[in-house]
Structure 1
Amino acid sequence: MGIITLKRMKFHAFHGAIREEQLVGNTFYVTLTMRCNFGNATKEDDISGTINYSDVYELVKKEMQQRSNLIEHVAQRILDAVLDNFPVVRSIEVTVSKMNPPVNGEMEEACVTVSYPNR
């Protein structure tokens, strides 16, 4: 068993409850932390026993391209997609960060984290 973390994958996407966000878009970062069964990958240096980062990235990219009003919804969709497509994942934490969210003040980012199994 081991942990794979894919940190701060960057996307321009159109998530948000405000019309301007849906039209202009924003910068988002996604971080995944996955506890996985590596099988023989650690001993045999064989990618088939673990997760190909590129495949996970493409899956996250696909989910980020599908618009949502809430980053909570995006995070849950990513979590579900990873669990559905990568059976070696035993637990996962997904954080979606929206940079410079539209608030009446100054805020660097708003983040939502979902996990399975839920803690």
Structure 2
Amino acid sequence: MDKIKVNNMEFYGYHGVFKEENKLGQRFRVNALLELDLSQSAQSDNVEDSINYADVYQLCKEIVEGEPCNLVEAVAEKIASGMLEQFEKLQQCTIEVVKPDPPIPGHYNSVAIEITRGRD
């Protein structure tokens, strides 16, 4: 299966279980791995035969910057479901949502959720 990767899309959202997260917000990064057959678009050289990266970005932006969720898992699920709904050529997607600065004590680079969803 061929793959499109859209990496390190950065947004500002209000997701989290702590009141401060819902009030102050924080940065989120999203990585999307989209699996589909790209042979037709490779031959035609037409974006209509592929998935437009700008549309992928916009869908992620609307979800991350939209209605707050308590869990990053829910954000990832909304993105994956939206991808499968919007892009009929898409067979499977892996979505990673990264919280670079979660309000928890300790030394770490980030926390992240990664889910994979596909067509039945």
TM-score, normalising length from structure 2?
0.93
- Alpha-carbon separation, structure 1, partners of 2:4 and 2:39: 14
User: Which AA in structure 2 matches 1:41?
Assistant: S
What SS does the aligned partner of 2:93 have? Answer: strand
- Alpha-carbon separation, structure 2, partners of 1:7 and 1:64: 15
The answer to whether 1:86 aligns with 2:71 is no
Structure 2, unaligned stretches of length 5 or more? none
Count, aligned residues: 118
CA contact (8 A) 1:100 1:107 kept: no
CA contact (8 A) 1:35 1:92 kept: yes
Aligned to 2:43: 43
Aligned to 2:54: 54
What SS does the aligned partner of 1:89 have? Answer: coil
What SS does the aligned partner of 2:38 have? Answer: coil
Aligned to 2:18: 18
Aligned to 1:103: 104
CA contact (8 A) 1:14 1:25 kept: yes
What SS does the aligned partner of 1:40 have? Answer: helix
Aligned to 1:76: 77
Question: What RMSD over aligned residues (CA atoms) do the two structures have, in Å?
Answer: 1.4
Aligned to 2:114: 113
- Alpha-carbon separation, structure 1, partners of 2:105 and 2:32: 30
User: Which AA in structure 1 matches 2:54?
Assistant: S
Q: CA deviation at 1:39?
A: 4.8
CA contact (8 A) 1:10 1:29 kept: yes
Q: CA deviation at 1:102?
A: 1.1
Q: CA deviation at 1:100?
A: 1.6
User: Which AA in structure 2 matches 1:50?
Assistant: S
CA contact (8 A) 1:63 1:78 kept: yes
